[in-house]
Amino acid sequence: MAAAEEDELLLPRLPELFEASKQLLDEVEVAAEPTGSRRIQEKVSKGLDLLKTAAEMLSQLDLFSRNEDLEEIASTDLKYLMLPAIQGALAMKQVNPSKRLDHLQWAREHFLNYLTHCQHYHVAEFELPKPKNNSAENNTAGSSMAYPSLIAMASQRQAKIERYKQKKEVEQRLSALKSAVESGEADDERVREYYLLHLRRWIGISLEEIESIDQEIKILREKDSSKEASTSHPSREDRPPMKPFILTRNAAQAKVFGAGYPSLASMTVNEWYDQHRKFGALPDQGIAKKTSEVKRAAWQQEDQEQKEEEDDERTLQQAREWDDWKDTHPRGYGNRQNMG
């Protein structure tokens, strides 16, 4: 009996678990080293383990009831309402790519759980995010609402602006109350205001995180679907090449020309015809044309062209000489005997 009491005294209490996990989250968020480093990931895992134990203790203590109002909760117990939101924030810091989708869904569930509790207790005025449906339903909804209304986009933008303003006001008020509350000098009214401000701050954080999670989940699912489509349709290069074959009219020709040759023909009939026509070796009405006759006809054609070129040059030269003679011998030159 005494040993059991000693073990209970050695176990950490709920306030210690909550503060230790919250301190780990603050260290992870302000750390200068990458989130994927071993040291940061160890803090994330440790914080999630502490919050899991704290959530189990909170369930056993049964501090919150659906039948009570916010005013009935003790001021020092208000901070434990933030526990699911802190769990979601630490889950978002995990960097295992193979389990990223599971981590996102787990974090979204805890953020939504926190927002549901805050809405039940009327901590602040806000709208809960829409539940996440299956991918097929999302595609159907996306096709039916391909062009969102400008009014909805304007309202979302205005809501983000209002959340940003409220966030700045809350942070300023929290910084003013922090020292007094942590030192124990603040009265119950200030302590209550301090934790209510923290709850409102985490409401804004949870809404923004759920919006970011939904976008990342959509991207991951589209990536997975594209991979499945590429694996289900193999490329043409993966298919075995087709073997050459011979077309035959009947079974008798197939037996004769089927597979008795060591190799198939290297050219078609048209290719053979073009090659022989190029070299002038085609039959002409049953009589083959001799190569010498072809050469003789070519020589005669070349001689004729050369003669025509020489005649053209001789005619041009005579015309030039006649022009020169007319320049030096004007009209009537040499016929001066009958001049008076």
**pLDDT tens sequence across 7-26:** 444 457 999 999 999 999 99
pLDDT-derived band of residue 219, with 50, 70 and 90 as boundaries?
Answer: very high
- pLDDT over 70 (residue 293): no
If one compares 280 and 166, the residue with the highest pLDDT of the two is: 166
The values of phi and psi at residue 283, to 5°, are: -70, 145
Q: What is the mean pLDDT of residues 59-82?
A: 90
**Is the distance from CB of 39 to CB of 33 less than 8 angstroms?**
yes
Distance between CA atoms of 246 and 249, rounded to whole angstroms? 10
Choose between 116 and 182: higher pLDDT. Answer: 116
Does residue 1 surpass a pLDDT of 50? no
DSSP string, 171-204: HHHHHHHHHHHHHT-S-HHHHHHHHHHHHHHHHH
**Mean pLDDT of all residues in 40-55:** 95
pLDDT number for residue 126: 87
Angle at 75 between CA 72 and CA 77, to 5 degrees: 90
pLDDT-based confidence at 197, cuts 50/70/90?
very high
- In the block, tokens 């001689």 appear at 303
Which residues fall within 8 angstroms of residue 214, CB to CB, at 6 or more apart?
108, 129, 132
- At 143 the pLDDT is 45
